[in-house]
A and B are shown apart, each in its own frame.
Chain A
Amino acid sequence: DAGITQSPRHKVTETGTPVTLRCHQTENHRYMYWYRQDPGHGLRLIHYSYGVKDTDKGEVSDGYSVSRSKTEDFLLTLESATSSQTSVYFCAAGGQVVTEAFFGQGTRLTVV
C-alpha cells in the first residue's frame, strides 16, 4: 500500500459544513495529490503539493483548499460542503523522479 493512509474512510456531512480529509504517508514522498473519483469521469486532480507549504491547483479545485505543513501529511478541506462534492476522494503520493503515484484507500464522502 506504499504507506499511504487516509482518514476518515467514510463520512456523511451536511451541506454548508466544513470538512477536512487527511492523508498520511510514511515513505517520505515529495509529491502528494488529491483526486476525486466520480462515475463517468475517472479520476480528476483537485490539488497537489510539491513540497512542504508548496501547493498548487488541479483541474477541479473550486471549493477546495489544501495544506501541507509536514512532508508526511496533506490535508484537503471542503470549505462549505455542497452535494456536488459527494464523491470518493483519493490521496496519492509519488517520488523524486518521474512520479509514479501510489494511492491511499480512499474516503467516501456523502454531503446531504
Chain B
Amino acid sequence: GENVEQHPSTLSVQEGDSAVIKCTYSDSASNYFPWYKQELGKRPQLIIDIRSNVGEKKDQRIAVTLNKTAKHFSLHITETQPEDSAVYFCAASGSGGGADGLTFGKGTHLIIQP
C-alpha cells in the first residue's frame, strides 16, 4: 500500500516569513495529493490539492508543488500570519484515486512566532 512521509514534524517561523512542508510518497500510481489544515480541537479542512497531471498550483498565499519523478510534493505558505498556526497534513490517494481512502502523513505543527 501507499506510504507517506512528512517533514518536519514541527516548524517555527517568524510572522511574515515563508514556511515549507515536504512529503514523499511510495506508490507511483497515486494521482491525487491534498493538504489539510487542522486547528486545535477542530476537524481537518482541505486547503489545497493537486492532481498528478499538474506540477504546481497556487491559491493566494498557499502553493503546492509536485515532482512525480521524485515522488515528492510540498506545501508553501508565504507571508505567514498568526492564523496559519495549526497542524498540517499531506495525503496521497494511492492507486485507487482516493476512492478507497487517503494515506496521510503524520502531520507538521506549524508555529507562527509574532
Contact = CB atoms under 8 A, between A and B. Distances in A.
Interface stretch (A13-21, A72-80, A101-109): A101-109
B31 interface: yes
A40 B9 CA distance: 9
Given A100-B49, A103-B45, A45 B102 contact: yes
Main secondary structure of the interface of A (DSSP, over half): strand
A98 B102 contact: no
A48 B97 contact: no
Contacts of A94: 98-99
Q: Give the secondary structure class of B's interface.
A: loop
Contacts of A42: 6, 89, 104-107
B55 interface: no
Contacts of A100: 34, 46, 49, 98
Contact of B99 (A44, A50, A59): A50
A70 interface: no
Interface residues of A, number: 26
B51 A98 contact: yes
Please give me the 10 A-B residue pairs with the lowest Cβ-Cβ distance, nearest first.
A99-B98, A45-B101, A42-B106, A103-B43, A43-B104, A42-B104, A98-B32, A98-B97, A48-B101, A103-B44
18 contacts: A31-B99, A35-B101, A42-B104, A42-B107, A45-B102, A48-B100, A48-B101, A50-B100, A56-B100, A90-B43, A98-B93, A98-B98, A101-B34, A101-B102, A103-B36, A104-B43, A105-B43, A106-B43
